[in-house]
């Protein structure tokens, strides 16, 4: 009986000792966990931030603002961690594909307007003198190097002194000297001019160049209308509202007129200058050789008037001579 009581007491003391030892161990572990220094926590936090995947999984259960903040952090990490810089922007004139542009970026349509001098050459120079001219046209560019332009040209010329002297002799032929002197027969103060207007189709070939300067070659052909007018000073009357009367004035009046229609062609070269790198407008200067295949007509001249049997009214057959001249024009292309 005493032995049982003694064994029971030993067991109770052993159980109590085991309980006390287990509690002491748990308390010591808790104190170690709570005493971790911030220096230890910081590397752990940085290690967790260095993984975008762990950030995404951590913030997946957070609010929408937390998700946005996490996405911004991931973007900054990707930008800083990338080994290559972002691509450079390229600057320059953009190419837009539109109905007014070709596949190579050139404009489909072109226009021009210009003016300058026109000089007769060859046989034409024997009876005409240089004067002015102008032109205008529009066309279609097929690409940067080729196109075609429909063009109108007007070229004006004066008449040589010898030409006017011969015509005066013709108009005065057969008049008595006394009537020529008092102006009752023949002409006095004869003057005149010649002009050619044309409609032509002109294929143009632009040379491939870099920079502001350019060059092109042009050929053309079409219809040419040639006109010569002879004039004489005449007296006219114009009403003057200040005096309430008609006052005389002197002006040249056409007394003889000749025309000739023919086919012709031209060819030449030109240079261009762009106003700016991205400009479509270009200053141009060109020179051409023009040939008009007029059909020679029979008429009366100062050389044959005494011997000819011609009975017609053409007193200036030179208007139907083959015509050659060189126009030099400057203007704007756009």
1 pLDDT more than 50: no
Give me the phi and psi of 79, to 5 degrees please: -70, -45
> Residue written as tokens 């083959």?
322
Same domain, 25 and 134: no
205 contacts 142 by C-beta, under 8 angstroms: no
Residue 139 lies in a domain: yes
Looking at 61, 81, 101, the residue that finishes a domain is 81
- Per the structure, the count of domains in the chain is 2
Whether residue 86 lies inside any domain: the answer is no
pLDDT at 183: 82
Residues 183 and 318 placed together within one structural domain of the fold = yes
**Banded pLDDT at 81 (limits 50, 70, 90):** very low
97: in domain: no
| pLDDT tens per residue across span 29-66 | 445 544 444 444 444 334 444 444 444 444 444 444 55
Residue 281 inside a domain? The answer is yes
The SS3 assignment for 238 reads strand
Report if residue 93 sits inside a domain: no
Per-residue pLDDT, 278: 73
The answer, yes or no, to whether residue 173 has pLDDT greater than 70, is: yes
Helix (H) or strand (E) holding 74: helix 64-81
Does residue 70 sit in the same domain as residue 159? no
Q: Which of 286, 277, 133, 135 is nearest to 206 (CA)?
A: 286
Average pLDDT over residues 256-277: 94
Whether residue 126 sits in one domain with residue 10 = no
CA atoms within 13 A on the CB side of 197: 5
Same domain, 70 and 128: no
The residues near 195 (Cβ < 8 Å, ≥ 6 apart) are 154, 155, 156, 157, 226, 227
- What percent of the chain is modeled with pLDDT above 70? 71
User: Domain range spanning residue 195?
Assistant: 109-333
* pLDDT of the residue at 48: 42
Domain membership flag for residue 34: yes
Quick one: pLDDT at residue 246?
Answer: 84
Residue 237: band (very low, low, confident or very high) from pLDDT cuts 50, 70, 90:
confident
pLDDT score for 87: 58
Tell me, yes or no, whether 159 and 271 share the same domain: yes
My answer on whether 295 and 203 are in the same domain is yes
Q: Quick one: 219 and 71 in the same domain? A: no
Query: Is the CB of residue 115 less than 8 Å from the CB of residue 172?
Result: no
For residue 100, is it within any domain? no
The encoded tokens of residue 75 equal 């973007």
Give the chain's largest Cα–Cα span.
Answer: 192
Q: Which CATH number characterizes residue 258's domain?
A: 2.40.160.20
Q: Which residue has the tokens 């539109």?
A: 98
| Mean pLDDT score, 143-153 | 95
- Domain identity same for 53 and 130: no
Tens-place pLDDT, residues 102-129: 887 778 899 999 999 999 999 999 999 9
Please give the Cα distance from 232 to 195 (Å, whole number): 18
Check whether residue 184 and residue 73 sit in a common domain.
Answer: no
List CB contacts of 29: < 8 A, sequence separation 6 or more: none
Identify whether residues 25 and 128 lie together within a single domain. Answer: no
pTM over 0.95: no
* Residue 206 counted as domain residue: yes
Is 172 in the same domain as 313? yes
């Amino acid at each position: 009986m005493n032995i049982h009581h003694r064994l029971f007491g030993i067991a109770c003391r052993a159980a109590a000792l085991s309980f006390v030892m287990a509690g002491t161990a748990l308390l010591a572990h808790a104190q170690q966990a709570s005493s971790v220094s911030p220096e230890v926590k910081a590397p752990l936090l940085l290690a967790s931030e260095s993984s975008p995947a762990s950030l995404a999984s951590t913030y997946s259960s957070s609010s929408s603002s937390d998700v946005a903040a996490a996405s911004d952090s991931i973007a900054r990490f990707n930008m800083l961690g990338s080994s290559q810089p972002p691509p450079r922007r390229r600057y320059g004139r953009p190419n837009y594909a539109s109905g007014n542009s070709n596949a190579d970026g050139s404009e489909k349509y072109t226009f021009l307007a210009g003016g300058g001098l026109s000089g007769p050459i060859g046989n034409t120079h024997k009876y005409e003198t240089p004067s002015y001219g102008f032109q205008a046209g529009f066309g279609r560019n097929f690409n940067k190097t080729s196109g075609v332009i429909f063009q109108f040209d007007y070229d004006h010329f004066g008449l040589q002194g010898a030409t006017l002297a011969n015509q005066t002799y013709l108009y005065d032929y057969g008049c008595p000297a006394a009537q020529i002197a008092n102006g009752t027969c023949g002409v006095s103060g004869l003057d005149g001019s010649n002009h050619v207007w044309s409609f032509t189709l002109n294929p143009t070939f632009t040379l491939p160049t870099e920079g502001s300067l350019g060059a092109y070659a042009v050929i053309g052909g079409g219809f040419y209308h040639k006109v010569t007018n002879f004039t004489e000073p005449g007296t006219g009357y114009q009403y003057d509202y200040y005096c309430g009367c008609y006052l005389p004035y002197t002006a040249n009046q056409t007394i003889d007129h000749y025309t000739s229609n023919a086919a012709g062609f031209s060819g030449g070269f030109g240079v261009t200058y762009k106003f700016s790198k991205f400009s479509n407008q270009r200053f141009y200067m060109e020179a051409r050789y023009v040939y008009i295949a007029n059909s020679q007509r029979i008429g009366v001249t100062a050389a044959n008037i005494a011997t000819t049997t011609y009975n017609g009214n053409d007193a200036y057959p030179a208007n139907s001579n083959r015509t050659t001249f060189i126009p030099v024009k400057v203007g704007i292309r756009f």
